[in-house]
Amino acid sequence: MSLPKMTRLLSRRPLVSIQQQQLPPSTLVPGRTLIQSEYRRPGKPRDNEPPWQKIKFDLSKGLEGVKKHFTLLKNELTGRWVGPEGKPIIEHMLEQNRVVWEFRGPESLQQWTLSSDREIGGQSEIYMELGRNSTTCLLYGTLCSTPPRDGETRYSGYCTARSKQPLASFDRKKHHDWSSFNCLHLRIRGDGRPWMVNIATETYFSHQKDDIYNYFMYTRGGPYWQDVKASGIIPFSKFFLTHRGRIQDDQHPLWLDKINTIGFTLGDNADGPFQLEIDFIGVCKDYAHTEEFAYEKYKRNPEV
Amino acid sequence: MNPYVLSILLMGLGLGTTVTFASSHWLLAWMGLEMNTLAILPLMAQHHHPRAVEAATKYFLIQSAAAATILFASSTNAWLSGQWDIQHITHPLPTVMITIALSLKLGLAPLHAWLPEVVQGLDLTTGLVLSTWQKLAPFALLLQISPEIPLLITSLGLISMLAGGWGGLNHTQLRKVLAYSSVAHLGWMMVVMQFSTSLTALALLMYVIMTTSAFLTFKLLKSTDMNSLAMSWAKTPSVTALAPMMLLSLGGLPPLSGFLPKWLIIQELTKQELGLVATVAALSALLSLFFYLRVCYCLTFTSSPNNLAGVAPWRLESKQISLPLATSTSLSILLLPISPAILSLTLPLF
């Protein structure tokens, strides 16, 4: 029995002509491998451009960036002579209230990132706009707790707004230092929905990346602004530690010297539109509040 | 913490330093340093707060890197000279490597970046152990090495003094301030090491006394930042009266004890015709003095009827044993008049 003939795998054309063949660009690099390393938000079109084609050389923008970063660096160095965080020590000591975020112009909205369960395929929406007279920020949208039809998600329906990480010169991470204060002061006007305030601190290990301190903020609706004890002023001692939404057994008090971001989340399982108007977010020192941490740790394996 | 575990860890700490003190072989000295590192790690992470665990991890990584470098340098010395004796390390390469490794262990600039973050993550007692006890063993080794390259030692010392002074200027967290103060004091110790090891030992001794006093004071006042110091007059007026003296002693002002090592070091540097080094050292002490004065200001010049910076504390009776604080504060304020006696005690020893 004779062996079957092996078909020739290579063409008879010489090597040189193979190199001269012009292959169409779409077959050179498959589109999927380019974007597998980066997260693509649902709704955004797939980006098949290779990274070297995305660089935009623009002299004026470059000069602006150089000016901005060197100015920030200069302020950091000269602020050091004045005192901590660029303020004299007497001001630091006497400070009882500090407004950290207030919404007075469109640039203040750039400090916030919005997100909802649309990222996992849900149908909630959240938008942020400046309120009337550009003095407040309005968070509004629709909550929809229909889970996405991916076969594995059972619950859904959340909307969140989170502040961006403050950056020093040359895009280095900076932290908020709220160690002189002990309460979070929010002036808000809601529609009766319960929100959750999330504070993220600086962490070290990669598994602590999603460690967030949470507490509830109950809005009361109505035309009046709310910044009273019950819901507008939240002591930092009340915040409890969660990781990816799960409350941890091992609770620790919130350390205020390295705060990265603050956020608001709505996930109250009530479908429909929502609105939250925020006048300012500040921190204050309540002299009467002496509690250090509101939660006790119970023994996880008690002796029986 | 379980008292048995605590006693084992403290014994481990003591044993590690003692082994390093008593050793003449590099491997035994390295073993003592490793015991110290490993024994303090559970003490650092005992509260399991994320920042404490972060501090313990950073400390472990830094100390392990330094210990590995020491091992490598001593092995290189054994290969080049054929012996492991600590005092006979003569080849410049292992000497420089060991000096740099021990500087990393101590937190000397430019290898000091880990110290403020680590001390900030710890409670005050463990911070005290880190700033005082953990410095003894590496210094014991540094004092025995003959300085092959004087420029290295002097530069480490000067840079530490400047970095410690400059870096501590703008902090309001007391633990970070004490960490930078530690860096500055270590600089003073290094700069005179090649001329007089006994002065280094004296400076180390005075530093340990003053830092112990500082940490115990802040522990009694239960304050970790400058604002909470403002209420100290209501908690313990006597400590509030003495603590500025102790802080100015850390700053090196006469007629307090802290002036003694600085005066003798400047005198020795001038005798060795290093007037410029002495001048830079004296000027850098001003930087440190500024932040000590700032802490004094927060402690004492903020009484009523001004607005108080701190929140009213619970008036609980402190369970802290007062003897160590009383002894260390007295020693850090009153030792200058008996400086001849101190010199006669320390000079022959080293």
ipTM value: 0.88
User: Taking all residues of chain A, what is their mean pLDDT, rounded to a whole number?
Assistant: 84
Q: Which amino acid, one-letter code, is at B197?
A: T
- Flag whether residue A84 sits within 8 Å of chain B, measured between CB atoms: yes
The pLDDT of residue A12 is above 50: no
Q: What percent of chain B has pLDDT over 90?
A: 78
The residue among A180, A205, A242 with the most chain B CBs within 10 A of its CB, best to mutate, is: A180
Structure token digits, residue B95: 């000497």
B73 pLDDT above the threshold of 50: yes
Distance from CA of B191 to the nearest CA of A (A): 27
Average pLDDT, chain B: 92
Q: Which residues of A touch B172 (CB under 8 A)?
A: 84, 89, 92, 177, 179-180
| Of B70, B280, B58, the residue nearest B184 (C-alpha) | B280
Per-residue pLDDT, A249: 87
Residue B227 with chain A: CB contacts under 8 Å: 92-93, 179-180
Report whether pLDDT(A273) > 90.
yes
Q: How far apart are CA A243 and CA A245, in angstroms?
A: 5
B307 and A255 within 8 Å at the Cβ level: the answer is: no
A180 contacts on B by Cβ (under 8 Å): 172, 225, 227, 309
Closest of B128, B251, B139 to residue B190, by C-alpha? B139
The minimal CB distance from B311 to the residues A204, A252, A290 is found for: A290
CB contact under 8 A, B172 and A289: no
Average confidence (pLDDT) over A226-236? 80
Q: For residue B307, give the nearest of A92, A94, A253 by CB distance.
A: A94
**How close does chain A come to B314, measured CA to CA in Å?**
7
Q: What is the pLDDT of residue A303?
A: 59
- Please name every residue paired with A194 in a beta bridge, in sequence order, or none if there are none: A218
Higher pLDDT, A286 or B30: B30
CA distance B311 to chain A (A): 5
Percent of chain A with pLDDT over 70: 82
Q: What is the pLDDT of residue B193?
A: 92
Q: Which of the residues A204, A254, A258 would you substitute to probe the B interface, choosing the one with the greatest number of B C-beta atoms within 10 Å?
A: A204
Is-contact B131 B178, C-beta < 8 A? yes
Q: Do B312 and A289 touch (CB under 8 A)?
A: no
- Least confidently predicted of A30-34, B79-83, B93-97, B283-287: A30-34
Q: Higher model confidence: residue B302 or residue A88? A: A88
* Closest alpha carbon within chain A to B171: A84
**CB < 8 Å to A250, chain B:** 48
Closest by CA to B156, choosing from B192, B199, B208, is B192
Q: Is the CB of residue A291 less than 8 Å away from at least one CB of chain B?
A: no
Q: Is A83 on the interface with B (CB under 8 A)?
A: yes
CB of A255 within 8 Å of a chain B CB? The answer is yes
Q: Which of A83, A182, A255 has its CB closest to that of B170?
A: A83
Q: Which residue of A237, A257, A286, A297 to mutate against B (max B Cβ within 10 Å)?
A: A257
| pLDDT of residue B346 exceeding 70 | yes
Q: Please name the CATH architecture into which domain A96-284 falls.
A: Sandwich (2.60)
- How far is A268 from chain B, CA to nearest CA, in Å? 29
Q: How far is residue B96's CA from residue B256's CA, in Å, rounded to a whole number?
A: 36
Contact B134, B115 (CB under 8 A): no
Helix ranges restricted to H, B145-301: 150-167, 174-191, 197-220, 226-229, 232-235, 237-251, 259-271, 275-300
Q: Between A12 and B97, whose confidence is greater?
A: B97
Q: According to the model, what pLDDT value does residue B318 have?
A: 76
| CA separation, residue B33 to residues A9, B17, B18, B138 (Å) | 66, 7, 10, 8
Residue B348's pLDDT band, with cuts at 50, 70 and 90, is: confident
Could you give the residue ranges of the DSSP H alpha helices within chain A?
A: 15-19, 31-35, 51-54, 59-82, 89-94, 106-109
Q: Is it the case that residue A29 has pLDDT exceeding 90? A: no
Closest-CA distance, A103 to chain B, in angstroms, reads 28
- Report pLDDT for A299: 66
Interface test with A, best of B57, B287, B307, B315 (most A CBs within 10 A): B307
Mean pLDDT of B71-75: 95
Read off the amino acid at residue A198: N
Is residue B170 pLDDT above 90, yes or no? no
In this complex, the residue of A93, A203, A289 whose CB is nearest that of residue B298 is A93
Smallest Cα–Cα separation from A265: which of A160, A192, A142?
A160
Res. B304 pLDDT band, cuts 50 70 90: low
Position A171 confidence tier, pLDDT thresholds 50, 70, 90: very high
Residue A95 has pLDDT above 80, yes or no: yes
Greater confidence, A2 or B26? B26
Contact B73, B104 (CB under 8 A): no
A83 contacts on B by Cβ (under 8 Å): 170
